[in-house]
Structure 1
Amino acid sequence: MARALGHKHPTTIQGWRDKDRIPHWRWDEVKKAARRKKIKISDLFAEPAE
């Protein structure tokens, strides 16, 4: 996912996983990248409540 988002270091994404949370302002970007790379993220993270 780090590569799909263009992050140089995967520790950003690892931090999201450790906290079980993707920042709300990154969610759309993450979903688009996951679709492009056919990565299933629904098992890893819950979509944030609005």
Structure 2
Amino acid sequence: MHKRVGKIHDERNLFCYFVDFINVNNALLCSSHIVISNLRWEQIK
């Protein structure tokens, strides 16, 4: 089982980190998730 070591910067990245921790093949999806989350975060801030 591949485990990717990383740091969760904040709760917005928790889901993405968790998914990538399970399956490194989700790295690209994870990156897209972060971008979308950050855009939404900026809108509601």
TM-score tier by shorter-chain length is 0.3 to 0.5
Comparing both structures, which one devotes a greater share of its residues to helix? 2
TM-score (norm 2): 0.34
TM-score (norm 1): 0.32
